[in-house]
Chains A and B, each alone.
Chain A
Amino acid sequence: MNNTNLSKEELLPIIRAKLKELLVSHLALDDIKPEEIGDDEPIFGEGLGLDSLDAVEIVVLLQRNYGLNIKETEKGTEIFRSINSLANYIVENSSQPLGVDSTVPEEK
């Protein structure tokens, strides 16, 4: 549903990079650089080591930056698996313009 001229394949790397930046800046992942996060690394538990309270932040980030409301737990398991799955979900479902530099609201 994106309204830019970029194709899905072109958008995905941009979204992935953006997501990594958002995670690092909002989730106290101070010792990790965005580019160090693997596209297929599990976000919760092992992998990035985030817990369920971090999920609160991620859900809110998705809401603020991409206008996405993830309500169904069944889908959640799939969506929150990795950066890749999140990016795919965003590209397929976001109601906001993607690819252009969507500024993140400044807050720490």
Chain B
Amino acid sequence: MHNNAGTIRAVALGCREIVPNILIVDDGSRDADLRTLLADTGIPVIRHEVNCGKGEALLTAARAVNERGGTHMIAIDGDGQHYPRDLCAFLPIIAEEPDAIVIGERDMSGPNVPGSSRFGRKFSDFWLRLETGLPIRDTQSGFRAYPVRHILALACAGRKYDFEVEVLARAAWAGLPIRNVPINVWYPPATERISSFRPFMDNLWLTHRHVILVTRRFLPLPHRNLVARPEPKKRGTAFGFWFFITAVRCTGLRGAYGLLFFVGSWYALFDSEIVQSALAFLKRRFPTHGPLRQRWNVYQLFIAQGRCLIDRYYLIHSGDRLRFHKRGFDRITPLLQDTRGFLLLTAHVGNWQSAMVSLEGWNKTVHLLMRPDPHVLRTQKLGLHHQPHRIRIINPAGYLGGVLEVLSALDAGDIVSVMGDRDYDSSRKVAVEFMGGIAQFPCSGFVFAHATRRPIAVLFSAKTGPYDYDVLIAGIIEPHPSESKADFLRRGVQEYAALLENHLQRHPLQCFLFQDIWIGSPTQPTA
């Protein structure tokens, strides 16, 4: 609270009738000394000597609750607009979903509700919808329950009112549930209202924060999960699709690329988590580059990934100017002529999704072992794809990880495509030499190949010009008839890693691995 001496005592005592532990954060009030005012109640007051902003005050409270061993806190404004008795509505939801942020959803039908508040609320909900894809209601309400450990882990940058919207976006990205509970709200007549919200400056901060959050949302980089979630939400849903299609329509491919300059710079400069995940690879690929040059590499990597993403949208939209140059496809001619199926092993390099266009004309159905991607499904539904060949998706989250579907597809003579460099989950890995270290690769593709005695074709892609892609069958890895499973996994994964390393020598800034897969150096191999 800030400058709410007139109401704070009633609010605090009202809360204590419902929950035993109350904490007040005085964010540099100048109207009264709260410690004296509340001395007889025994309620602890933490004071910021200067006004730091509501976000800072909430973080101070979260730290204090955490230090005192508390797991949750409910924030209530000190100005008397919230009713302490509404605390009761939060408690069952916290008990049921301890990871959730619970927002008190204000009933704004009462008298004295300023029109600007109604508009502000709708506008804020709209931004959050863009940022999270979720229909979160009343995103400006300050009456909320927070799981404190999660809030402290979210690394929000906003310290003023913008914290309250940022925390929701970051919580949603981290997989925390966000719930609403109806609450009452009291708006005093305009003449009696004491609000610390400065319409111009605070709205400016909010807008600034929303712009950052929206751009972050459409950058196809991973978010850290704070809680396990059954089906990770893919960024770039219906709105992202529309956004990029519109950008491509209005400005062409180059114009859409231009947008990336801002996004790429921002993340290369300020998002240390993602930069670190990119550096794992870059430090091995460019061991002699200093920190500044590596930042530049990170930036280029982000731009390259953004371009590949835009190309995917462009391909769906019309894609008429994109050219896919096939290299090494003669290697798979015999496999295509065989009535039996085979495996396709790809990697997060170049634009593997778009590279699937090159499989046009193949007489075999391709099954992608991947979590259903809304883009692929949508484009199939709309018939926008000019991909006449058949693509199916096998969901690894299904029964036995989709194994039965994979085996019957191979049995039916189809192609099964698997990611070879990193996996959707922590399934079994094989450690091999890769880029001067020992790295772990998922081995599921090799297990399928060995069990069914079918070969693996390794497919990579690389963007080679504004409208040009190379799609490369880099090699064929085949289990020998007498080779044991363990031997084949070791040899096969090592061969794949060597092909990938070779590809990344030529196209280093199209490696979208974004994961530290290395576990050591070759001198200390791990089993």
Contacts and interface: CB of A to CB of B under 8 A. Distances in A.
A-B complex is real:
yes
Nearest to A70: B404
A53 B407 contact: no
Given A53-B447, A69-B408, A76 B400 contact: yes
Contacts of B388: none
B428 A51 contact: yes
B449 to A, nearest CB: 10
B484 A56 contact: no
B275 interface: no
Nearest to A53: B447
Interface residues of B, number: 23
Contacts of A59: 403-404, 407, 451
B427 interface: yes
Interface in B430-483: 443-444, 447-448, 451-452, 482
B399 A53 contact: no
Contacts of B398: 73
Contact of B399 (A56, A77, A107): A77
A100 to B, nearest CB: 26
A53 B404 contact: no
Chain B interface SS verdict (over half): helix
B451 A73 contact: no
The size class of the interface chain A forms with chain B is: 10 to 19
Given A69-B408, A69-B411, A73-B405, A52 B484 contact: no
A77 B402 CA distance: 12
A55 B403 contact: yes
A89 interface: no
A69 B405 CA distance: 11
Contacts of A70: 404
Contacts of B427: 51-53
B230 to A, nearest CB: 16
A77 B399 CA distance: 7
Contacts of A76: 399-400, 404
A57 interface: yes
Contacts of B403: 52-53, 55-56, 59
Interface in A90-108: 107-108
Contacts of A77: 399
Contacts of A52: 400-403, 427
29 contacts: A44-B400, A51-B428, A52-B402, A52-B427, A53-B401, A53-B427, A53-B443, A53-B447, A55-B403, A56-B448, A56-B451, A57-B451, A59-B404, A59-B407, A59-B451, A60-B407, A70-B404, A71-B404, A71-B408, A71-B411, A72-B404, A73-B398, A73-B400, A73-B404, A73-B405, A76-B404, A77-B399, A80-B400, A108-B485
Given A53-B427, A59-B403, 17 more contacts: A52-B400, A52-B403, A52-B427, A53-B428, A53-B443, A55-B401, A55-B403, A56-B451, A57-B451, A59-B407, A60-B407, A69-B408, A71-B407, A71-B408, A73-B405, A77-B399, A107-B482
Ranked nearest first, the 4 interchain pairs of A and B with the lowest CB-CB distance are A52-B401, A71-B408, A60-B451, A55-B400
Interface of B: 398-408, 411, 427-428, 443-444, 447-448, 451-452, 482, 484-485
Interface of A: 44, 51-53, 55-57, 59-60, 69-73, 76-77, 80, 107-108
